[in-house]
């Protein structure tokens, strides 16, 4: 008898979720096997990279992170367009940093205006990432689901504290919600149950397991995502069969290792190359753990990651 | 000399002297006046409310006391100090009422006597200390062996244990005793060491009694047992229960251990528990018209910390990793030097424990439950401040203790209280109007909510859609009953006008969080034990629920909130105070007492406090009924039906 490689028996499948509308809408999820285990099953929709755009000029970005966007960094609309036109972005994550009550605390309507303008200017799917402040987001993201009616945008992070307010509006305006939980399988599952009980359609949910950057708790996220996927694919846990999104860019780029220059510490080598690799390795790791969307910043790291996805899916 | 003030406590009318600056809570404690104080006087629990009815005290403001309360004269005793003569009224909610305790004890007897009967048949009915009347032949020229040898000769024939040993104390009195009693004496013999524990004058073989004591963290119960009773039913001559006097020094074992670290703290707690036990014994002995001298032995069962305090052993290492108690088994000994009441000269036995957090009370209960006699697998749960769980059958036993928290005993719950008159014990809620229907223990005006009431309340709120699956109130249902309170949303179970406390009785989201944590810890502890045993809930033959808490809970409601696993109701069995039952059975059955030692030895303890699997199960259980819907299919179906 010929030798046969043992295979994992899958009993579940990740749901497919469509984000955006029109010809550039993107479908994610659908996998019937562990990430890139194409010898055991299928991944009908390859994982995607989303470019991040901030809603106002970032103040603390490294020189080498600003460089690719220097001409557009003061204008979120132009910034988003440049990502699409120059760097081939397939989705845009608009990070509503300026609304953060611990920062500029910009009023809701001002921020909503920015979202409206960006949404109108781009044709790729838009994902809107709030402040992670439960109260502010409840107000802000509700308004955003409203003004982007018909766009099928994804809004998040939605927590167990504000899922009712945001979830109800997302149902009404047919948007996708990003269910965010603090690195725990059970908490992720609980939030998904709460959202579906509220009436959110099962093809309108993305999961955000909360991520840390490389060297800053990434391994913790990794094992939780791994367990999410094991439960979803091999233990028929229907409440975990949702695509995963990782908002990794802000985590990577705030680490000390992406901030120190070669002059600060010659042992660490060239800062740009180092930062790009830090971001690429973080994203690749998350993809191997089961991410369907990774949020990234630098075009060079995006290109490395896209190469990897292409090769692993070939 | 500083001026002395007089502090009068109402309604007891007790007057106690104090000096300027003395703390009111401490004065009350010294005066023997009980005031609820679950946080040990740190000013964080808000339970030690008292009303100043005359004079004044100096009191710092506290967010737990509203301005209205202050205007009405309410203060927190723990943050009040004496400035002049004062009259202090103890509010109803702080007054201890013993009647409920007596009630629970009667319920227990009915449940347990059948088990007693069965077990004594299995393990024999030979009391731990035997009592023999000996009519000794008077010494003469042919038979002039020593007095002790004479007694030994007679005893060894009866006891069949070889040559008995005499403690020095007995030898010193022996010659006079024998002659005064005209060579008719009664000898008490401990067969385990073949030691004569006492020699009494005359024939007292027909008066042979023992005392069984259950030393709980919250309550202590003592029973007077007739060792010669023909059946288990007629064995208990008298019984009495009281709160453990140590309550005033902290509600849970950890705060008691903390108290021991104070100067003379250990001595104080030992004295307090001994005075509680002595009071109980003085209650039951005259009740049954028994001479305390005819009590030959005492069997005690309690958790490991309580046993340390009872024996006066420093328990501090119980709470420090790696959680090593000084001892879990205590050799039989005389009662001298322990602080028992005078006139009592009995031999003291204790049911051995397993670890720091699985004590002799659990071993005693497990032995009594009969789960170790059967091949079918049982789960034994004692839900108190610590949830102790034992899984196994006649071949193996696993045990664990999870710090469930005192929610079901009233701790950490704004209006929580122990099961005492005035405690709301049953709740139904009209799902359309949100109006509740409540029953209190003793059918009096409500003072607070006890464990069974909390289970009912949460289950009703959940099934009615008033709280969602993560224990948060639904904003859509806001109204008179569901309102915004000082600590977020709250459900009003009773308005002030209907209560005995002049305050609205409410359940807040903070309370809900605490209940969720408690029930999750218990369920997670069970899950981990089952996983370690390689079985699932459905493989269980029976689930045995012990502890004072377990008398009146509604199984179905407890399943709805995910405290108990979803199993057919007939697999659940209540045992009441199983620890006491075990101690009682041991008192009359040497074989059964030996069995408890076997059980303690054969239990494998699973430490949950730093167990990753437990944390994972705990998070999964922090949901109503549980994150895994498949474990509670009927509850999920009921919920779906409710929504449609």
Across A255-259, B353-357, B402-406, B584-588, least confident range: B402-406
Question: What band does B435 get if pLDDT is binned at 50, 70 and 90?
Answer: confident
Distance CA B526, CA B535 (A): 11
Residues 6+ apart with CB under 8 A from B318: B253, B257, B304, B305, B308, B324, B325, B356, B357
A193 contacts on B by Cβ (under 8 Å): 469, 623, 627, 629
Contact A239 B629 (CB under 8 A): yes
- pLDDT tens-digit map of B539-595: 999 999 887 664 567 888 999 999 999 999 889 888 878 899 999 999 999 999 999
B472 contacts on A by Cβ (under 8 Å): 160
Q: Under CATH, which number does the domain B99-124+207-357 receive?
A: 3.30.420.480
pLDDT exceeds cutoff 80 at A8: yes
Mean pLDDT in chain A? 95
| pLDDT score recorded for residue B110 | 42
Across B126-140, B243-257, B391-405, least confident range: B243-257
**CATH 3.10.20.880 boundaries in chain B:** 130-201
Query: Could you say which of B470, B616, B629 has the minimum Cβ distance to residue A194?
Result: B470
| pLDDT score recorded for residue B428 | 85
> Which residue of A lies nearest to B621 if distances are taken between CA atoms?
A186
| pLDDT score recorded for residue B19 | 85
Q: Which of residues 101-140 of B touch A (CB under 8 A)?
A: none
Q: What's the topology of domain B130-201?
A: Ubiquitin-like (UB roll) (3.10.20)
Distance CA A129, CA A125 (A): 13
Residues 6+ apart with CB under 8 A from A117: A76, A77
Contact A239 B620 (CB under 8 A): no
Average pLDDT over residues B593-621: 92
B631 contacts on A by Cβ (under 8 Å): none
| pLDDT score recorded for residue B112 | 52
pLDDT cut 70: percent of chain A above it: 100
Distance CA B549, CA A118 (A): 60
**CATH 3.30.420.480 boundaries in chain B:** 99-124+207-357
Contact B623 A190 (CB under 8 A): yes
* A244: containing domain: 16-313
**φ and ψ of B605, to 5 deg:** -90, 130
B509 or B497, which is more confident:
B509
pLDDT cut 90: percent of chain B above it: 46
Residue A267 tokens read as: 């042992």
Q: Say what the pTM is.
A: 0.81
| pLDDT score recorded for residue B554 | 84
CATH number for the domain spanning A55: value is 3.20.20.20
B523 contacts on A by Cβ (under 8 Å): none
B470 contacts on A by Cβ (under 8 Å): 160, 190, 194
Across A298-307, B259-268, B473-482, B619-628, least confident range: B473-482
A239 contacts on B by Cβ (under 8 Å): 629
Residue B130 tokens read as: 């035997």
Residue A312 tokens read as: 């692993």
Contact A193 B620 (CB under 8 A): no
Average pLDDT over residues A50-68: 96
| pLDDT score recorded for residue B643 | 65
> Which residue out of A135, A167, A186 would a mutagenesis test of the B interface target, given it has the greatest number of B Cβ atoms within 10 Å?
A186
Question: What band does B444 get if pLDDT is binned at 50, 70 and 90?
Answer: confident
Contact A184 B619 (CB under 8 A): yes
B370 and B118 Cβ atoms separated by less than 8 Å? yes
pLDDT exceeds cutoff 80 at B371: yes
| pLDDT score recorded for residue B41 | 59
Average pLDDT over residues A236-263: 95
Average pLDDT over residues B393-422: 84
| pLDDT score recorded for residue B39 | 53
> Which residue of A lies nearest to B636 if distances are taken between CA atoms?
A197
B619 contacts on A by Cβ (under 8 Å): 184-187
Contact B469 A194 (CB under 8 A): yes
**CATH 3.10.20.30 boundaries in chain B:** 4-94
Contact A193 B622 (CB under 8 A): no
| pLDDT score recorded for residue B343 | 87
Query: How far is the alpha carbon of B624 from chain A, nearest alpha carbon, in Å?
Result: 10
Burial label for B286, CB within 10 Å (0-12, 13-18, 19+), is: exposed
Does A10 fall in a domain?
no
Helix H or strand E encompassing B597: helix B590-602
> Which residue of B lies nearest to A159 if distances are taken between CA atoms?
B470
Mean pLDDT in chain B? 86
Task: Return the CATH superfamily for domain B361-406+516-643.
Answer: ATPase, nucleotide binding domain (3.30.420.40)
Distance CA B522, CA B515 (A): 11
Residues 6+ apart with CB under 8 A from B149: none
Burial label for B26, CB within 10 Å (0-12, 13-18, 19+), is: middle
| pLDDT score recorded for residue B4 | 82
> Which residues in A have their CB inside 8 Å of a CB on B?
160, 164, 184-187, 189-190, 193-194, 197, 239
pLDDT exceeds cutoff 60 at B105: no
CATH match for B4-94 among 3.40.50.720, 3.40.50.300, 3.10.20.30, 3.20.20.70? 3.10.20.30
> Which residue of B lies nearest to A161 if distances are taken between CA atoms?
B472
Average pLDDT over residues B412-422: 83
Question: Does the beta carbon of B470 lie under 8 angstroms from any beta carbon of chain A?
Answer: yes
| pLDDT score recorded for residue B191 | 85
| pLDDT score recorded for residue B45 | 64
Average pLDDT over residues B330-355: 93
Q: Name which of A47, A53, A100 is nearest A250 in CA terms.
A: A53
pLDDT exceeds cutoff 80 at B120: no
Query: Could you say which of A164, A186, A197 has the minimum Cβ distance to residue B475?
Result: A164
What's the number of domains chain A is made of? 1
> Which residue of B lies nearest to A192 if distances are taken between CA atoms?
B627
Across A92-106, A132-146, A241-255, B112-126, least confident range: B112-126
Average pLDDT over residues B316-339: 91
Question: Does the beta carbon of B520 lie under 8 angstroms from any beta carbon of chain A?
Answer: no
As a 3-state breakdown, chain A gives helix, strand, coil percent values, each rounded to 5, of 45, 15, 40
> Which residue of A lies nearest to B623 if distances are taken between CA atoms?
A190
Query: How far is the alpha carbon of B621 from chain A, nearest alpha carbon, in Å?
Result: 9
| pLDDT score recorded for residue B114 | 66
Question: Does the beta carbon of B620 lie under 8 angstroms from any beta carbon of chain A?
Answer: yes
Residues 6+ apart with CB under 8 A from B112: B368, B575, B576, B577, B578, B581, B584
B622 contacts on A by Cβ (under 8 Å): 186, 190
Question: Does the beta carbon of B623 lie under 8 angstroms from any beta carbon of chain A?
Answer: yes
A160 contacts on B by Cβ (under 8 Å): 470, 472
Contact A197 B616 (CB under 8 A): no
- pLDDT tens-digit map of A152-182: 999 999 999 999 999 999 999 999 999 999 9
**CATH 3.30.420.40 boundaries in chain B:** 361-406+516-643
pLDDT exceeds cutoff 60 at A123: yes
**φ and ψ of B599, to 5 deg:** -65, -45
> Which residue of A lies nearest to B476 if distances are taken between CA atoms?
A164
B629 contacts on A by Cβ (under 8 Å): 193, 239
Question: B236 pairs with which residues across the strands?
Answer: B225
Does A177 fall in a domain?
yes
Question: What band does A112 get if pLDDT is binned at 50, 70 and 90?
Answer: very high
Contact A186 B469 (CB under 8 A): no
| pLDDT score recorded for residue A236 | 87
Contact B469 A239 (CB under 8 A): no
Query: How far is the alpha carbon of B510 from chain A, nearest alpha carbon, in Å?
Result: 14
Across A160-169, B5-14, B340-349, B476-485, least confident range: B5-14
> Which residue out of B620, B631, B635 would a mutagenesis test of the A interface target, given it has the greatest number of A Cβ atoms within 10 Å?
B620
B415 and B507 Cβ atoms separated by less than 8 Å? yes
Question: Does the beta carbon of B637 lie under 8 angstroms from any beta carbon of chain A?
Answer: no
pLDDT exceeds cutoff 80 at B30: no
| pLDDT score recorded for residue B488 | 87
CA distances from B298 to A297, B192, B344 (A): 75, 15, 10
pLDDT cut 70: percent of chain B above it: 92
Question: What band does B103 get if pLDDT is binned at 50, 70 and 90?
Answer: very low
Average pLDDT over residues B199-228: 92
A7 or A222, which is more confident:
A222
- pLDDT tens-digit map of A96-105: 999 999 999 9
pLDDT exceeds cutoff 80 at B297: yes
Residues 6+ apart with CB under 8 A from A233: A10, A11, A12, A13, A14, A31, A32, A33, A34, A241
B616 contacts on A by Cβ (under 8 Å): 185-186
Query: Could you say which of B468, B469, B620 has the minimum Cβ distance to residue A186?
Result: B620
Does A2 fall in a domain?
no
Contact B470 A160 (CB under 8 A): yes
Q: Name which of B25, B45, B20 is nearest B35 in CA terms.
A: B25
Distance CA B229, CA B245 (A): 32
> Which residue of A lies nearest to B475 if distances are taken between CA atoms?
A164
Q: Name which of B502, B423, B358, B545 is nearest B68 in CA terms.
A: B502
A44 or B60, which is more confident:
A44
pLDDT exceeds cutoff 60 at B637: yes
Query: How far is the alpha carbon of B622 from chain A, nearest alpha carbon, in Å?
Result: 9
A254 or B640, which is more confident:
A254
Query: How far is the alpha carbon of A49 from chain B, nearest alpha carbon, in Å?
Result: 31
| pLDDT score recorded for residue B32 | 64
Question: Does the beta carbon of B537 lie under 8 angstroms from any beta carbon of chain A?
Answer: no
B411 or A115, which is more confident:
A115
Distance CA B357, CA B319 (A): 9
| pLDDT score recorded for residue B44 | 63
Contact A190 B627 (CB under 8 A): yes
Query: Could you say which of B468, B469, B627 has the minimum Cβ distance to residue A186?
Result: B627
pLDDT exceeds cutoff 70 at B102: no
- How many residue contacts between A and B have a Cβ separation below 8 Å? 30
């Amino acid at each position: 008898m010929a030798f046969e490689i043992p295979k994992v028996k899958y009993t579940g499948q990740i749901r497919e979720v469509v984000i955006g509308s029109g010809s550039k809408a993107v479908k994610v999820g659908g996998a019937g096997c562990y990430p890139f285990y194409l010898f055991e099953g299928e991944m009908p929709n390859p994982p995607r990279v989303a470019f991040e755009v901030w809603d106002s000029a970032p103040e603390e970005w490294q020189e080498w992170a600003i460089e690719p966007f220097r001409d557009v960094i003061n204008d979120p609309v132009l910034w988003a367009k440049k990502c699409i036109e120059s760097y081939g972005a397939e989705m845009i994550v608009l990070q509503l940093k300026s609304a953060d009550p611990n920062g500029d605390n910009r009023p809701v309507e001002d921020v909503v205006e920015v979202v409206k303008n960006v949404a109108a200017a781009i044709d790729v799917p838009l994902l809107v990432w709030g402040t992670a402040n439960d109260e502010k987001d409840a107000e802000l993201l509700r308004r955003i689901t409203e003004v982007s009616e018909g766009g099928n945008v994804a809004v998040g992070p939605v927590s167990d504290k504000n899922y009712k307010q945001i979830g109800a509006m997302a149902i009404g305006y047919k948007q996708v919600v990003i269910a965010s939980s603090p690195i725990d399988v059970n908490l992720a599952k609980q939030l998904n149950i709460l959202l579906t009980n509220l009436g959110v359609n099962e093809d309108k949910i993305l999961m955000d397991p909360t991520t840390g950057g490389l060297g800053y708790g990434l391994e913790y996220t990794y094992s939780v995502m791994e367990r999410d996927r094991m439960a979803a694919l091999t233990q028929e846990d229907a409440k975990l069969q949702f695509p995963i999104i990782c908002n990794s860019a802000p985590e990577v780029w705030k680490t000390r290792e992406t901030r120190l220059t070669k002059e600060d510490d010659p042992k660490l080598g060239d800062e740009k190359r180092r930062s790009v690799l830090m971001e690429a390795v973080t994203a690749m790791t998350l993809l191997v753990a089961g991410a369907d969307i990774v949020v990234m910043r630098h075009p060079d790291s995006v290109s490395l990651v896209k190469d990897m996805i292409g090769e692993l899916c070939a | 000399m500083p001026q002395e003030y007089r502090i009068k406590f109402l309604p007891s009318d007790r007057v106690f002297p104090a000096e300027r600056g003395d703390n009111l809570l401490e004065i009350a404690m010294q005066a023997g006046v009980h005031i609820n104080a679950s946080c040990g006087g740190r000013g964080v629990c808000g339970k030690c409310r008292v009303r100043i009815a005359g004079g004044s005290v100096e009191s710092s403001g506290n967010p737990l006391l509203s301005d209205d309360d202050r205007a009405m004269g309410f203060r927190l005793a723990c943050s009040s100090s004496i400035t002049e003569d004062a009259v202090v009224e103890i509010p109803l909610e702080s007054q201890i009422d013993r009647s409920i305790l007596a009630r629970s004890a009667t319920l227990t007897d009915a449940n347990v006597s059948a088990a007693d009967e069965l077990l004594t048949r299995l393990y024999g009915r030979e009391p731990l200390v035997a009592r023999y009347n000996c009519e000794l032949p008077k010494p003469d020229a042919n038979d002039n062996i020593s007095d002790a040898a004479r007694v030994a000769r007679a005893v060894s024939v009866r006891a069949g244990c070889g040559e008995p040993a005499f403690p020095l104390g007995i030898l010193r009195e022996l010659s006079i005793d024998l002659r005064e009693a005209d060579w008719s004496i009664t000898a008490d013999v401990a067969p385990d060491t073949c030691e004569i524990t006492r020699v009494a004058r005359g024939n007292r073989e027909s008066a042979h009694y023992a005392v069984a004591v259950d030393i709980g963290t919250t309550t202590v119960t003592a029973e007077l047992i007739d060792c010669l009773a023909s059946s288990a039913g007629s064995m208990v001559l008298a019984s009495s229960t009281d709160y453990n006097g140590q309550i005033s020094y902290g509600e849970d074992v950890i705060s008691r251990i903390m108290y021991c670290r104070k100067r003379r703290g250990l001595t104080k707690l030992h004295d307090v528990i001994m005075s509680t036990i002595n009071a109980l014994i003085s209650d039951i002995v005259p009740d049954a018209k028994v001479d305390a001298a005819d009590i030959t032995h005492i069997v005690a069962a309690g958790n490991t910390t309580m046993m340390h305090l009872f024996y006066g052993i420093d328990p501090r290492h119980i709470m420090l990793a790696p959680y090593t108690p000084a001892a879990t088994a205590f050799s039989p000994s005389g009662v001298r030097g322990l602080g028992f009441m005078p006139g009592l000269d009995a031999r003291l036995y204790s049911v051995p424990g397993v670890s720091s957090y699985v004590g002799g009370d659990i071993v005693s209960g497990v032995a009594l439950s009969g789960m170790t006699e059967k091949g079918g697998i049982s789960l034994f749960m004692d839900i108190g401040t610590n949830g102790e769980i034992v899984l196994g059958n006649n071949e193996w036993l696993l045990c664990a203790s999870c710090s469930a928290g005192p929610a079901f005993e009233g701790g950490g719950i704004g209006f929580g209280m122990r099961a005492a008159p005035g405690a709301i014990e049953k709740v139904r809620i009209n799902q359309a109007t949100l109006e509740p229907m409540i029953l209190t223990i003793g059918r009096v005006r409500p003072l607070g909510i006890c464990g069974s009431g909390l289970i009912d309340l949460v289950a009703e709120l959940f099934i009615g859609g008033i709280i969602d699956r993560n224990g948060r109130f639904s904003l859509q249902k806001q109204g008179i009953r569901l309102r915004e309170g000082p600590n977020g949303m709250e459900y009003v179970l009773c308005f002030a006008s209907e209560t005995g406390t002049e305050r609205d009785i409410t359940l807040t989201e903070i309370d809900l969080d605490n209940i969720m944590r408690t029930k999750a810890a218990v369920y997670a502890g069970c899950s981990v034990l089952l996983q370690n045993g390689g079985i699932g809930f459905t493989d269980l033959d029976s689930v045995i629920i012990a502890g004072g808490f377990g008398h009146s809970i509604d199984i179905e409601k407890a399943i709805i909130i995910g405290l108990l696993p979803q199993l057919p109701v007939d697999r659940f069995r209540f045992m009441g105070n199983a620890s006491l039952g075990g101690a009682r059975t041991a008192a009359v059955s040497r074989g059964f007492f030996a069995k408890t030692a076997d059980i303690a030895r054969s239990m494998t303890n699973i430490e949950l406090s730093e167990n990753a699997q437990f944390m994972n199960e705990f998070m999964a259980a922090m949901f109503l009924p549980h994150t895994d819907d498949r474990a509670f299919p009927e509850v999920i179906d009921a919920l779906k039906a409710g929504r449609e």
